[in-house]
C-alpha cells in the first residue's frame, strides 16, 4: 500500500475513534452524574483517554510521514513506536484510575452505605455504550492489521478492554437496581488489573520494536532464497535488517561468488540485489562479497575437515566465506555463534585450535559473526 494512502487511512480511522469516543463520554458522564455512580463517571473518563489516544495516533502518523533530512537521514518512521508507547501509558493510567476509584467506592459503601441509583434509561444507555465500544475496538483492530499500524492495534485492544470494563459497570448497575447488592467496586478492581496487564503488553511490544526486533523467520528465508537465485550468487550470509518504521528498512548482506569473477560481474550482482531489495522489500541494502574457491581440491579437503569438527560445538551454527590462501598457507572463514553461547570467543578459540591441529603449517583466521538471521 502506498505510504500516503496508508497515512490517510490511519488518520481517517483515528477520527472515527475520536468521534465515537466523544459521544460515549457525553452519554456516560450524563448517566454517571445523574446516578451518582463513580464507576460510570470513571468509564467516561476512560473513554476520554481513548479519544486522546486517537489524537496521539494522528499526530504520530503525520510526524512519521515526514521526509528524511540532514538531521534524520533515516526518516521519522520510528515515531509510530513512540505513539504506541504513549497509548500504552494511557492504558496503564486508565487501569490505575479504575482501581483507585473502585477502592474509594468500596470505602464509601462501607462507611456511608453509598449506593448509586439508576433509572431504566440509564441501563439502556450503558448497554448501548458497551455495544458501541466493542464495535470501535473491532474496527480499530481490523484496520490496524490491514494498515500494519501498531498504534491502531493498541487502540483496538484498549477499546475492547474498555468494553469489558463497561460490561462490569453494567453488571454492577443491574445488581444495584434489582438486587440492591453492591458489587461495582470489586468488579472495577478486577477489570482495572486486566487493563493494566494489557497496558504492559502493549508497552512491551512497542519498546521491543524500538530496541530492534528480529524479523520473522519466513521473511528472512524468502529474502535469502531470492538473493541466492540471482545468477552468480553461491550463498547468502550475514543478512542484517533494521526497521526504521513501516515498510522502511536498511540492511546489509554478504554473498558468496567464485573467486575468478571480474569486478564488473561483481558490480552487476550487487546492483541486482540492491534493486530487488529496494523494489520488493522496501530496503536500502549494502552488499558485501565473499570470494570462494571451494572447487579447488585442497580447499575442498580442508573445508570438509572443518565441517567435521563443528558437530562437537552445538552453538556453532554456520561457517561461510571460506577461503584458503595456498601460497600464504592461510585458512580464513566466518563462524556464526548462537546467542545461547555464554562464551563465544572461547568456542571460536577451541575450534581454531582444532583446525590448526588438523592442518599443520597453516594459520587460521576465524571471524566471529552474531546470529542475526541464521536460527
Question: Cα(197)–Cα(362) distance, rounded to whole angstroms?
Answer: 58
Q: Cα separation of 319 and 317, whole Å?
A: 7
Distance, in Å, from the CA atom of 49 to the CA atom of 55, rounded to the nearest integer, reads 10
Using DSSP, state whether 367 is helix, strand or coil.
Answer: strand
**Of 82, 351, 374, which is closest to residue 214 (Cα–Cα)?**
374
Q: Which residues are CB-neighbours of 103 under 8 A, at least 6 positions away?
A: 185, 189
Q: Which residues of 337-355 are buried (b: 16+ CB within 10 A; e: fewer)?
A: bbeebeebeebbeebbebb
Residue ranges and CATH numbers for the domains of the chain are: 3-211 (1.20.1510.10), 217-370 (3.30.70.1350)
Strand ranges, E, within 204-275? 235-243, 249-258
* CA 216/CA 209 separation, integer angstroms: 13
Instruction: State pTM to two decimals.
Output: 0.70
- Beta strands 235-243; 330-337: pairing state: unpaired
In this predicted model, what pLDDT tens digit does every residue of 201-246 receive, in sequence order? Answer: 888 888 888 888 888 889 999 999 999 999 999 999 999 998 887 7
318, with CB counted inside 10 A (0-12, 13-18, 19+), is: middle
Residues 80, 81, 82, 88, Cα dihedral to 10°: 110
**b/e for 180-198, b at 16 or more Cβ within 10 A?**
eebbbbebbbebbeebbeb
Neighbouring C-beta atoms of residue 269, cutoff 10 Å? 19
Cα 224 to chain centroid distance, Å, stands at: 22
Q: Which value, to the nearest 10 degrees, does the dihedral of the CA atoms of residues 192, 193, 197, 199 take?
A: 30
Residuewise pLDDT in 10s, the chain (375 residues): 566 787 788 888 888 888 888 888 888 888 878 877 766 777 777 778 777 777 877 788 788 878 888 888 888 888 888 888 888 888 888 888 878 888 888 888 888 777 777 778 778 888 888 888 888 888 888 888 888 887 788 778 878 877 877 787 788 778 877 888 878 778 778 777 877 887 888 888 888 888 888 888 899 999 999 999 999 999 999 999 988 877 788 999 999 999 889 999 999 999 999 999 999 998 999 999 999 888 889 999 999 999 999 999 999 999 999 999 988 999 999 999 999 999 999 999 999 999 999 999 999 999 999 898 887
Q: Read off the pLDDT of residues 347-369 as tens digits, 9 standing for 90 and up.
A: 999 999 999 999 999 999 999 99
User: What is the C-alpha separation between 161 and 87, in angstroms, rounded?
Assistant: 14
- How far CA 316 is from CA of 60, 290, 313, 333, 359, in Å, comes to 42, 20, 6, 13, 20
Considering only CA atoms, which of 245, 248, 250 is closest in space to residue 61?
245
| C-alpha cell at position 261 | 569473477
Residue 221 has a pLDDT of: 92
Amino acid at each position: 500500500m502506498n505510504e500516503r494512502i496508508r497515512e490517510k487511512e490511519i488518520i481517517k480511522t483515528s477520527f472515527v475513534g475520536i468521534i465515537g469516543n466523544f459521544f460515549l463520554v457525553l452519554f456516560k458522564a450524563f448517566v454517571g452524574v445523574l446516578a451518582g455512580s463513580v464507576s460510570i463517571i470513571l468509564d467516561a473518563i476512560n473513554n476520554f483517554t481513548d479519544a486522546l489516544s486517537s489524537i496521539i495516533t494522528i499526530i504520530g502518523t503525520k510526524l512519521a510521514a515526514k521526509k528524511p533530512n540532514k538531521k534524520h537521514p533515516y526518516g521519522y518512521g520510528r515515531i509510530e513506536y513512540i505513539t504506541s508507547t504513549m497509548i500504552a501509558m494511557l492504558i496503564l493510567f486508565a487501569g490505575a484510575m479504575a482501581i483507585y476509584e473502585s477502592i474509594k467506592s468500596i470505602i464509601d459503601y462501607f462507611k456511608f452505605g453509598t449506593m448509586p441509583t439508576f433509572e431504566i434509561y440509564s441501563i439502556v444507555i450503558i448497554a448501548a455504550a458497551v455495544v458501541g465500544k466493542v464495535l470501535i475496538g473491532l474496527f480499530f483492530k481490523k484496520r490496524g492489521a490491514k494498515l500494519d499500524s501498531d498504534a491502531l492495534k493498541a487502540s483496538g485492544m484498549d477499546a475492547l478492554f474498555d468494553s469489558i470494563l463497561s460490561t462490569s459497570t453494567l453488571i454492577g448497575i443491574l445488581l444495584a437496581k434489582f438486587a440492591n447488592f453492591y458489587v461495582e467496586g470489586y468488579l472495577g478492581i478486577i477489570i482495572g488489573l486486566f487493563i493494566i496487564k494489557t497496558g504492559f503488553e502493549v508497552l512491551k511490544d512497542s519498546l521491543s520494536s524500538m530496541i530492534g526486533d528480529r524479523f520473522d523467520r519466513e521473511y528472512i528465508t524468502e529474502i535469502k532464497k531470492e538473493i541466492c537465485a540471482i545468477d552468480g550468487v553461491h550463498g547468502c550470509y550475514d543478512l542484517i535488517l533494521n526497521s526504521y518504521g513501516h515498510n522502511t528498512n536498511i540492511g546489509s548482506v554478504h554473498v558468496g561468488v567464485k573467486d575468478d569473477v571480474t569486478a564488473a560481474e561483481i558490480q552487476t550482482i550487487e546492483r541486482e540485489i540492491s534493486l530487488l531489495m529496494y523494489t520488493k522489500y522496501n530496503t536500502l541494502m549494502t552488499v558485501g562479497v565473499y570470494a570462494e574457491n571451494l572447487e579447488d581440491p585442497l580447499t575442498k579437503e580442508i573445508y570438509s575437515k572443518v565441517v567435521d569438527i563443528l558437530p562437537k560445538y552445538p552453538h556453532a551454527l554456520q561457517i561461510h566465506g571460506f577461503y584458503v590462501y595456498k601460497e600464504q598457507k592461510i585458512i580464513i572463514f566466518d563462524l556464526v555463534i548462537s546467542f545461547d553461547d555464554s562464551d563465544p570467543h572461547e568456542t571460536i578459540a577451541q575450534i581454531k585450535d582444532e583446525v590448526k591441529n588438523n592442518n599443520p603449517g597453516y594459520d587460521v583466521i576465524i571471524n566471529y559473526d552474531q546470529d542475526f538471521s541464521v536460527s
